Amino acid sequence: MKNFGVGSWLRRRRPKTGDSAALVTDEATLTYAQLSDRGDRLADAMATRGIGKGDRVAYLGENDPAFVETFFACGVLGAIFVPLNTRLAPPEIRFQLQDADVRLLVHSRALRELAISSAKETEVERRLAVGDDEPASGVTRRPESDGEETRRSEAELSEEDYEETLAGGELTARDVAVGLDDGAMILYTSGTTGRPKGALLTHGNITWNCMNVIVDMDVNRHDVALMISPLFHVASLDMGLLPMLLKGATVVLESKFVPERVLEHIERYKVTSLNGVPTTYQLLCEHPDWATTDISSLNKLTCGGSAVPMYVLEAYEARGLGFSNGYGMTETAPGATTLPPWRSREKAGSAGLPQFFTDIRIADPMGEVLPAGEVGEIQIQGPNVIREYWNRPDASAAAIADGEWFRSGDMGYVDDDGFLFVSDRLKDMIISGGENIYPAEVEMVIIELEAVADVAVIGVPDEKWGEVPRAVVTVRDGASLTEEELRGHLDGRLARYKIPKSLVIVEELPRTASGKIRKSDLRRDYSGD
């Protein structure tokens, strides 16, 4: 084969475990042979519609076999997969479609109106609609026509049914030359400027990240992984689903996180592996069925986003389970370090050791490597680390130190045993229920309000979500601003999880001598109730 990327995985796995279950849903089970066939048919159908190597194909939808099939079909053709966060507002999705110059958008039919409104004024030429018309949570239908003749948009006219399109594809074993250095996926991550950047993950980045997971997490083909987090998140996709499929294990897909269903599925499918954030694990152990559910099959719990609260940790330890915590980011595909469960007490507060094929170092502002115990910038090196942002050469150059080490922007130190401790998070980023919120992105929209003179967004503790955003604002002379007015301005322009849950009005924002807002002071003074 000329394809050494992710698009060859299913074809290479087929003779080894073709009859084994690859994907399981309430509706059906797909074996590796069936998943391979469907991926090849979809790739052929996409090729006949003009999609080729290097073209971008986006997916907007909940966890579904179509997500997995689209990912692998892109890999077969050497096209670049662009997963979209379903919680974003239309302007946010539209930017990503425009920036990546997406030609084909695959989306759930339940998110059809979101897809249509987001695809306007972009280069999207075709849409493939997956599933039925049941509206997704939080998504409203377009009002019915009042009888007057209306002109359907170009995006609406180009819609095709996903299953019909796939079935019309030939079962052709296409063998496009794809190398490990070729682009495989673009994942968008915001930054301090507020403008999202597309991290270009290569086939090699994804493959080596999966190898890190397989080695450090002891993944085997008898594992059964229950995917309860959205696959559009890099941790769920690259730490959860893909290592399992590379190894030949079984993946149970859940479209939404519902605690009672998760507990039922663990018992029914004898689930061995879960991947989630602290909030999901908290809701599971607090559910009334927790004590009576047979979870004896579980042996791998991975958690990211933030530290697991002690009472949650103890609830799982009481049932013989521990967590593999870690540190990473989209740009590291996403794993960088892992703390195994048997070291969680001994190394409490640590993000763990570097993953098997990955290295970390701590550097000062001049790029000098610091000894153990000294705080500096965390920098990461390895075949899982990106080399560029999509169409952002300046950002790419700034992100790579010495041409090899990715500059995380996070501060931390390593102890004498090489375990990483994170001291300060990336550029004041807020992590709410596993979702990354970059204050600058929110601040850029708030400052458009006529009443607002200055603004800073900080994270404040929340019992359910870990953190939620709070806006600290100064208003112009004679003006006023309420929480309702603030939310009304942001609603529809930002994803709802990014909208501040509270508002504090102050006379002025604390600043450094150079004029930068001292967010540490704001967190100290305004993080309480």
The predicted-structure confidence for 118-171, as pLDDT tens digits, reads as follows 998 899 999 999 998 764 443 333 333 333 333 335 445 589 999 999 999 999
Q: How far apart are CA 101 and CA 115, in angstroms?
A: 15
Sheet holding 502-505, edge to edge: 452-462, 466-475, 502-505
Look at residue 436 in the predicted model and tell me its pLDDT: 83
Please measure the distance between the N-terminal and C-terminal CA atoms of the chain and give it in whole angstroms.
60
Kindly report, residue by residue over 202-253, the tens digit of the pLDDT: 999 999 999 999 999 999 999 999 999 999 999 999 999 999 999 999 999 9
SS3 assignment, position 297: coil
Mean pLDDT of 462-483: 93
Q: Is the pLDDT of residue 468 over 60?
A: yes
Q: Which ranges constitute the DSSP H helices of 286-389?
A: 310-317
Q: How far apart are CA 227 and CA 83, in angstroms?
A: 16
Look at residue 425 in the predicted model and tell me its pLDDT: 67
- Number of CB atoms found within 10 A of residue 364's CB: 12
Mean pLDDT of 173-202: 89
pLDDT band at 76 (very low <50, low <70, confident <90, very high): very high
Range with the poorest average pLDDT among 279-283, 294-298, 422-426: 422-426
Percentage helix, strand, coil, to 5, in the chain? 35, 25, 40
Distance of CA 82 to the CA centre of its chain: 11
Where does the chain hold its CATH 3.30.300.30 domain(s)? 430-526
Phi-psi group of 391: left, alpha or beta (phi > 0 → left; psi -120 to 50 → alpha; rest → beta): left
Q: How far apart are CA 250 and CA 264, in angstroms?
A: 17
Q: Is the pLDDT of residue 301 over 90?
A: yes
Look at residue 141 in the predicted model and tell me its pLDDT: 34
Range with the poorest average pLDDT among 213-217, 256-260, 438-442: 438-442
Among 267, 292, 263, smallest CA distance to 280 is for 263
Where does the chain hold its CATH 3.40.50.12780 domain(s)? 212-424
β-pair type (420-424, 405-414): antiparallel
Mean pLDDT of 308-315: 83
Domain 430-526: CATH superfamily is ANL, C-terminal domain (3.30.300.30)
Share of the chain above pLDDT 90, in %: 76
Share of the chain above pLDDT 70, in %: 92
Backbone angles phi, psi at 61, to 5 degrees: 175, 170
Look at residue 134 in the predicted model and tell me its pLDDT: 61
- Among 3.40.50.980, 3.40.605.10, 3.40.630.30, 3.10.20.90, name the CATH number for the domain at 6-136+155-179: 3.40.50.980
Q: Is the N-terminal amide bond of 334 cis, ω within 30° of 0?
A: yes
Mean pLDDT of 386-396: 95
Q: How far apart are CA 254 and CA 266, in angstroms?
A: 12
Look at residue 493 in the predicted model and tell me its pLDDT: 93
Q: What is the mean pLDDT of the chain?
A: 91
Look at residue 444 in the predicted model and tell me its pLDDT: 83
Residues 6+ apart with CB under 8 A from 148: none
**Bridge partners (DSSP) listed for residue 301:** 274
According to CATH, what is the number of the domain 212-424?
3.40.50.12780
- Tokens encoding 70: 């689209």
Instruction: Please list, residue by residue across 78-91, b when 16 or more beta carbons sit within 10 angstroms of its beta carbon and e when fewer do.
Output: bbbbbbbbbbbbbe
Residue pair 67/477 in contact (Cβ under 8 Å)? The answer is no
Where does the chain hold its CATH 3.40.50.980 domain(s)? 6-136+155-179
Top pLDDT among 64 and 411 is at: 64
Look at residue 146 in the predicted model and tell me its pLDDT: 38
Q: Is the pLDDT of residue 173 over 70?
A: yes
Look at residue 149 in the predicted model and tell me its pLDDT: 35
Look at residue 210 in the predicted model and tell me its pLDDT: 98
Look at residue 518 in the predicted model and tell me its pLDDT: 84
